Amino acid sequence: MEGLSYQANICLLLELEKPLSSYYWITVAEVSAPFVAVIEHTNLIPAEEYGAHLVYLSRYLRPDHKLYTASDARVKEIFLTYLRKIFPEWQDSWVRGSHVYRSAYAQPVATTGYSRKIPAYQTPIPHLYLASMAQIYPEDRGQNFALRNGREVARIAQEFTEMPDVSGMA
């Protein structure tokens, strides 16, 4: 969306043969750390649902940052090197699989005057409506607000859309 700026995100998802810790979310506030959170998803949803213990390491950054454009192998190397500092008992042999995910438009950045830039639900294209993270302000992006937004847009779209009368059809 023109005129809005976003942070990108890079995530390393690890499939582990054993749990890393008993915590769901560990925030890493150290400036030198390559990621900002260690999230052990299977401390929320049981590992039996996936057949592995799932942990992801997440970092927000600019899409032209050298970490964002680095190869998957390099990202894994950098992230795991730091993970060992947090978990000294870490063994590479615990990793059954790993995946690097990148999202260029992961976090809308609310700059000064943002409330005047929020995109409208209705787009210039007839019958096309927009529900997006950029409209959540002043809340922060989250699935609960995505659902709220989706319901609101569906309600508005219904008001503006003439539904065909199918009551007499077999």
Ligand X SMILES: Cc1cc2nc3c(=O)[nH]c(=O)nc-3n(C[C@H](O)[C@H](O)[C@H](O)COP(=O)(O)OP(=O)(O)OC[C@H]3O[C@@H](n4cnc5c(N)ncnc54)[C@H](O)[C@@H]3O)c2cc1C
122 belongs to the binding site for ligand X (CB under 6 A): no
Residues 23-62 that bind ligand X (CB under 6 A): 58
Nearer to ligand X, 94 or 105 (CB): 105
CA distances for 37 relative to 9, 10, 148, angstroms: 12, 11, 26
Distance CA 157, CA 128 (A): 8
Query: Which position among 103, 114, 122, 152 is part of the footprint of ligand X (CB under 6 A)?
Result: 103
Q: Of 99, 80, 100, whose CA–CA distance to 91 is shortest? A: 80
Q: Cβ contacts of residue 43 below 8 Å, gap of 6+?
A: 19, 21, 22, 23, 24
Give the residue among 84, 96, 100, 87 at the shortest CA–CA distance from 18. Answer: 96
Residue closer to ligand X (CB basis): 25 or 91: 25
Structure tokens at 152: 């609101």
- Nearer to ligand X (CB atom), residue 50 or residue 101: 101
Q: State which residue, 88 or 126, has the beta carbon closest to ligand X.
A: 126
C-alpha closest to that of 3 among 111, 80, 79: 111
| Binding-site member from 9, 42, 43, 135 for ligand X (CB under 6 A) | 9
* 143 near ligand X, rule: CB under 6 A: yes
Point out which span in 27-35, 64-72, 119-127, 138-146 binds ligand X (CB under 6 A). Answer: 138-146
Which residues are near ligand X by CB under 6 A?
Answer: 9, 11, 58, 103, 106, 131, 133, 141-143, 146
